[in-house]
Amino acid sequence: MAKGIEIRNAHFPGRAPIDAYGNGGFRFAEMSHRGSILCLPSGIYGWEPKTPPLPTLEDIGRVIEEADGIEILLVGTGTDLRRLPENLRAVLREHRISADPMSTGAAVRTYNVLLAEDRAVAAALIAVD
């Protein structure tokens, strides 16, 4: 029996540098994704934060699940730098993750450098136009 189109959650199963960003998405590993992304030790995931440009505790559940493999979380907050909510920072600290908010462009560049250095880095990147 023929099936219709299967819609799956966007996931690239590996670590890869971000080749480009803008126009509402990102390019990496010879692919593109429209929307925001989470770059974690287990791969790159499509991500829809509830209240962009700042993530909530609910939005970072997957980050917490992989906390053992993350020392630094870069948070790309769109075109402007925004301070992360204190409750979010506190939970990340409890899991020994240093959170560093910055513009999405700065977060992408920093992520690529730390990834090339094989550091325990993750990124939560809000898409920009």
Q: List, in order, residues 6 or more apart from 15 with CB less than 8 Å away.
A: 39, 41, 43, 44, 115
User: According to the model, what pLDDT value does residue 6 have?
Assistant: 47
Q: pTM for this one?
A: 0.90
In angstroms, what CA-CA distances link 12 with 31, 44, 89, 109, 124?
9, 5, 27, 19, 15
pLDDT, residue 101, reads: 97
**Residue-by-residue pLDDT tens, the chain, 129 positions:** 555 544 456 778 889 999 999 999 999 999 999 999 999 999 999 999 998 888 999 999 999 999 999 999 999 999 999 999 999 999 999 999 999 999 999 999 999 999 999 999 999 999 999
Q: Does residue 16 lie within any of the structural domains?
A: yes
Q: How many residues does the chain have?
A: 129
Flag whether 6 is in a domain.
no
Closest by Cα among 126, 57, 128 to 95: 57
pLDDT at site 34: 95
Instruction: Give Cα 50 distance to the centre of its chain.
Output: 14
Domain annotation covers residue 5? no
Is 3 part of any domain? no
**How many structural domains is the chain composed of?**
1
Locate 112 and state its tokens. 């690529």
Does residue 1 lie within any of the structural domains? no
The pLDDT value recorded for residue 2 is 52
The domain containing residue 29 runs over which residues?
11-125
69 within a domain of the structure (yes/no):
yes
The CATH number assigned to the domain holding 44 equals: 3.40.1230.10
